Amino acid sequence: MSFYIKWHDRLDSTNHYLKKIIYEGDIVRSKTIIVAHNQTKGVGRLDRSWISPAYTNLCFSFFYAVEVPIPAIPSFTMAMSLAINDYLRSFRMNSQPKWPNDVLVNNKKIAGILSEHIDSSENSTRGIITGIGINVNMTKDQIKEIDKPATSILIEKGKISSIKETLEALIPHLEYWINEWEKNHFESIRTIWETLTGPIGKELEVHDGKDKIKGKLYGYGKHGELLIDQEGIVRTIWSGEIP
Ligand code: BTN
């Protein structure tokens, strides 16, 4: 079954909206996309806000009905960053996924992904909500509002893109990587993930919310958790940020 797209003019957050209607008992078909021209209170990971001026970027969330153990959800997000990466590379952008949930172009963030587990007893709906924000038509001035190095398709390509066409062109890549992930979760995306985010042994610094952990990339665990070699001791990091 393919994606069904519902456009909204204005929403606080497409993730919040989708979660709200599911928990209120609406029956939402798997692969329903909620997309907003103007997302007024977008949310990012670690309780951050997602900055996106109205009618400028692609901000959407979709529901995917699947029985999934909670530890496998981060790898779904990683599969979606491979989808965005493929889409950007389809027009020769120098794009790269970044653990755990970013996509970079020329080492600047162009997209972020936020996945949440859904289990609503109200309507027996279980699955994942994944929200995706892609900077499409943000100008250099608008990008300055973001507190980390960021870019947009406009900045990289020098041309305005249609938001609708961007979403439509991304969908086949989402379909492909959902199917890959379904086969064996992180294990079915491991090789490509490691190739694109390596090399193993590179120096890394990760902030896990509490500490700064410095070491060498040792690899990824069964579910895509980051493994860092700190002077011979391998530490597992489930959630964090590589600055
Ligand atoms: C991050 O990089 O921290 C994740 C950002 C996710 C942003 C998207 S925009 C569409 C969807 N709705 C939200 O409120 N957040 C996600």
- In this structure, the strands spanning 108-120 and 102-105 are antiparallel
* Rounded-to-integer distance, Cα 130 and Cα 160, Å: 26
Ligand 1 within 6 A of CB of 15: yes
Ligand 1 within 6 A of CB of 61: yes
Ligand 1 within 6 A of CB of 204: no
- What pLDDT score does 91 carry? 94
* Rounded-to-integer distance, Cα 178 and Cα 205, Å: 30
- What pLDDT score does 208 carry? 82
- What pLDDT score does 121 carry? 82
Distance 14 CA to ligand 1 centre (A): 8
Taking all residues of the chain, what is their mean pLDDT, rounded to a whole number? 95
pTM, to two decimals = 0.96
Model confidence over 46-96: pLDDT tens digits? Answer: 889 999 999 999 999 999 999 999 999 999 999 999 999 999 999 999 999
What is the layout of strands, in order, in the sheet containing 102-105? 4-11, 32-39, 58-65, 125-134, 108-120, 102-105, 95-98
Name the residue among 183, 192, 186, 178 with its Cα closest to residue 221: 186
Model confidence over 22-38: pLDDT tens digits? Answer: 999 999 999 999 999 99
Model confidence over 54-65: pLDDT tens digits? Answer: 999 999 999 999
- What pLDDT score does 80 carry? 98
Distance 114 CA to ligand 1 centre (A): 5
What is the layout of strands, in order, in the sheet containing 212-220? 203-207, 212-220, 226-230, 233-237
Distance 49 CA to ligand 1 centre (A): 8
* Rounded-to-integer distance, Cα 178 and Cα 65, Å: 11
Ligand 1 within 6 A of CB of 228: no
